[in-house]
Structure formats: C-alpha cells, structure tokens
C-alpha cells in the first residue's frame, strides 16, 4: 500500500485499517508513531519502504493554507497579538504563531518562523 493523497493511496487511519484486511492501526498523537496490530497471532505484518520524518509544523511546501489550519494550530505556539488597522481605520486583531520550520532531529538546524 502507498501512503499519500493520490488516487488509491491511504490517507486516513480508517483507510489503513481497511487496507490491512482485519488488523488495526493507530497513531500516537504525541510523536506520530504508527502502530499496526495483526488480527490474529498467526498473521504476518511486514512493513518496508522509506520515509522522511516530519518534525515541523509546516506542510512540505512551507505554506499554510486553510486545509492545514487545524494541524498548524496544534503544532505551533501562540506568539501574541497586536492591533492593526484596515484601510478604513477600523482596528483588526492580528494573531501571531511560532512554528518550527526545520529541525535538528531531521538532520538540519532548528529554525523557528513567525506567522
């Protein structure tokens, strides 16, 4: 099976569990580890392939869009707020968030970005 967002690819835990054909799968929300459990003690589960661990709050393209908002809010830190003003002079509350854009854990340097 292939994980991704393309046709025929597994994107959710429900799809993963269905593809396992009787086993179960779960994700640790703290560290992202996936646990796969066979339906019976005689079933074999083989996991192969390659993957790059993501240790940042940003999507791969570095741009946060509406679809990413829940994930981004859950994996970033509040950075305060300031009052800004629109073109008519009305106050607008501007919220800031700090997100880790790169990680030493992923082989790079810890880098934080302000959004």
- Give yes or no for residue 77 having a pLDDT over 80: yes
List the single range of 28-32, 48-52, 75-79, 85-89 with lowest mean pLDDT. Answer: 48-52
Compute φ and ψ for 13, nearest 5 degrees.
-60, -40
Compute φ and ψ for 37, nearest 5 degrees.
-120, 130
Alpha helices in 1-115 (DSSP H): 13-20, 69-74
List the single range of 7-11, 24-28, 80-84 with lowest mean pLDDT. Answer: 24-28
Q: Provide the pLDDT confidence category of residue 51 given band limits of 50, 70 and 90.
A: low
| Alpha carbon distance 57, 110 (integer Å) | 12
- Give yes or no for residue 49 having a pLDDT over 70: no
Look up residue 95 and give its DSSP letter. E
Q: Which residue bears the tokens 């809010």?
A: 73
Torsion sign across C-alpha atoms 51, 57, 60, 66: positive
pLDDT of residue 40: 77
Question: In this structure, what token pair is assigned to residue 39?
Answer: 């339906």
């Amino acid at each position: 099976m292939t994980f991704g967002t393309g046709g025929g690819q597994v994107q959710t835990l429900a799809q993963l569990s269905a593809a396992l054909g009787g086993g179960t799968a779960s994700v640790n929300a703290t560290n992202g580890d996936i646990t796969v459990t066979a339906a019976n003690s005689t079933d074999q589960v083989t996991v192969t392939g390659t993957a790059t661990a993501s240790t940042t709050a940003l999507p791969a393209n570095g741009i946060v869009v509406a679809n990413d908002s829940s994930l981004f809010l859950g994996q970033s830190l509040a950075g305060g707020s300031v009052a800004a003003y629109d073109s008519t002079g009305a106050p607008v509350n501007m919220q800031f968030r700090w997100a880790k854009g790169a990680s030493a854990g992923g082989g790079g340097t810890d880098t934080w970005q302000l959004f």
